[in-house]
């Protein structure tokens, strides 16, 4: 039986560990926190997982919360009208909702990671609660057939060099601020189904609102992405959760009054329901070389970390875990050498490259043809639906998003011009 070590217990690490376990591998999982510490700790992300990523969980039969989590059937886009931030519908230059072919869902990672970790242990997996250092991996690389690093922060990431050719940004492009709340009212435009709302405030940033399942049941996530140095870049040094929520709502009232109107009665879900930070989107080399000569393979955020503006983090982690699992199982008893590690990453990059291209494009100032596309979605429902479903399959944006000629041809074909 081949022995595999997975370092890091997030979406990718746990999904991969559970998948390997179900395929008969002897798996050790290292986490720097226990399941109880994760469950009672601070929120970790704004995960909204679309159909393809959810299917990977169904395939492994670890979709334990699917019947409880809200079914997100649409994705809405609003663009604030330039220059005026008074309440009322005139404040939105664009407002539409695209319907998803397959529903999306969000499960607070505190719920999911704690549950998955307990499941892994109950199924006989070796669970080690210990923060790993590079020196630890030097030893483990000699005692395991394969070491996978899925801990996306801290010392271990430094083993994986930045791939400058695939990383156009050296600095963070958004300041991030998250709050999980109860008491959010429905959107009057679609009271009969749940949708993720993407609110774009040109030159300022973005507000995302998404339904989720948290430790205390159904909730909503309020997520500001602020352009650094701008008015939304205001959360640095805010430690008190209630102050964080008050600032979130103050900014909503000013920049997205249509969302604030349904948030006047919200309260935080718990004392650890806020998060703020920033990081530079980065693609790294997939192979980490150890001082003793061994090699380890980076997973998900370790090797491809995108800004969350397109909501792809947990989706990419799930897709990476599924791709790596296939590569490991197909490799049989052959050694997991550096050539295999590189080809395994390259196989995942076939998918990941589309996420990187789209996310980096969305961080910049949108060109005229993209503004035209987003505007046309308000009049042409098929355009809204296709844009929404691009969140599930970002590769489709190649066909109608990046080049003015393709965008114009697509819009002409839909409108019948």
pLDDT digit string, tens, across residues 290-303: 999 999 999 999 99
List the chain domain ranges.
3-63+108-169+281-362, 72-104+174-277, 366-415
| Average pLDDT, rounded, for the chain | 95
Q: What class is the 72-104+174-277 domain?
A: alpha beta
* pTM tops 0.85, yes or no: yes
Q: Give residue-wise pLDDT tens across range 90-114.
A: 589 999 999 999 999 999 999 999 9
In whole angstroms, what is the distance from residue 398 CA to residue 155 CA? 36
Q: Which two tokens stand for residue 347?
A: 């196989």
For domain 3-63+108-169+281-362, the CATH class is: alpha beta
Across 31-51, average pLDDT: 97
Give the pLDDT score at 198: 97
Stretch 9-29: mean pLDDT? 98
Tokens of 162: 């930045």
For 5, left (φ over 0), alpha (ψ -120 to 50), or beta? Answer: beta
- Picking from 319, 310, 109, 307, the residue whose alpha carbon sits closest to that of residue 213 is 109
| Mean pLDDT for the stretch of residues 115-129 | 98
Kindly indicate the confidence band of residue 155, based on its pLDDT and cuts at 50, 70 and 90: confident
- Long-range pairs of 125-130 with CB within 8 A, sequence gap ≥ 24: 125/17, 125/21, 125/27, 125/28, 125/29, 126/26, 126/27, 126/28, 126/29, 127/28, 127/29, 127/31, 128/28, 128/29, 128/30, 128/31, 129/30, 129/31, 129/32, 129/33, 129/34, 130/30, 130/31, 130/32
- b/e sequence 259-279, b meaning 16+ C-beta within 10 Å: bbebbeebebbbebbbbbebb
In the structure, what pLDDT confidence band is assigned to residue 84 with cuts at 50, 70 and 90? low
pLDDT in tens, 306-365: 999 999 999 999 999 999 999 999 999 999 999 999 999 999 999 999 999 999 999 999
User: What pLDDT shows up at residue 87?
Assistant: 47
């Amino acid at each position: 039986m081949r022995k595999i070590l997975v370092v890091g217990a997030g979406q990718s690490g746990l999904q991969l560990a559970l998948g390997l376990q179900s395929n008969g591998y002897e798996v050790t999982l290292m986490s720097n926190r226990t399941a109880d510490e994760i469950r009672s700790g601070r929120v970790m992300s704004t995960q909204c997982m679309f159909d393809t990523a959810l299917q990977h969980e169904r395939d492994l039969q670890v979709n334990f919360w699917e019947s409880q989590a809200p079914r997100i059937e649409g994705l809405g886009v609003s663009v604030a009208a330039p220059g005026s931030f008074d309440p009322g519908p005139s404040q939105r230059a664009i407002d539409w909702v695209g319907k998803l072919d397959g529903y999306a869902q969000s499960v607070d990672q505190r719920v999911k990671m704690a549950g998955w970790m307990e499941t892994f242990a109950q199924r006989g997996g070796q669970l080690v609660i210990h923060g790993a250092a590079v020196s630890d991996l030097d030893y483990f690389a000699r005692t395991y057939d394969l070491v996978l690093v899925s801990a996306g922060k801290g010392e271990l990431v430094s083993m994986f060099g930045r791939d400058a050719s695939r990383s156009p940004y050296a600095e963070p492009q958004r300041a991030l601020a998250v709050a999980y709340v109860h008491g959010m009212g429905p959107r009057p435009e679609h009271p009969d189904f749940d949708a993720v709302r993407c609110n774009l405030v040109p030159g300022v940033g973005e507000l995302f609102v998404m339904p989720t399942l948290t430790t205390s049941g159904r909730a909503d996530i309020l997520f500001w992405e602020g352009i650094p140095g701008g008015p939304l870049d205001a959360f640095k040094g805010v430690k008190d959760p209630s102050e964080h929520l008050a600032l979130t709502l103050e900014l909503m009232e000013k920049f997205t009054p249509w969302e604030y109107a349904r948030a006047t009665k919200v309260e935080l879900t718990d004392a650890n329901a806020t998060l703020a930070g920033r990081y530079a989107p980065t693609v790294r080399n997939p192979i980490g070389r150890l001082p003793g000569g061994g090699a380890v393979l980076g997973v998900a955020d370790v090797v491809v970390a995108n800004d969350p503006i397109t909501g792809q983090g947990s989706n990419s982690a799930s897709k990476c875990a599924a791709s790596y699992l296939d590569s490991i199982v197909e490799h049989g008893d052959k050694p997991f050498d550096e050539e295999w590690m590189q080809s395994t990453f390259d196989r995942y990059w076939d998918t990941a490259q589309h996420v990187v291209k789209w996310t980096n494009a969305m961080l910049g100032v949108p060109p005229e043809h993209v503004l035209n596309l987003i505007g046309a979605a308000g009049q042409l429902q098929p355009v809204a639906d296709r844009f929404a479903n691009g969140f599930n399959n970002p590769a489709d944006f190649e066909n109608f998003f990046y080049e003015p000629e393709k965008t114009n041809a697509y819009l002409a074909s839909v409108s019948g011009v």
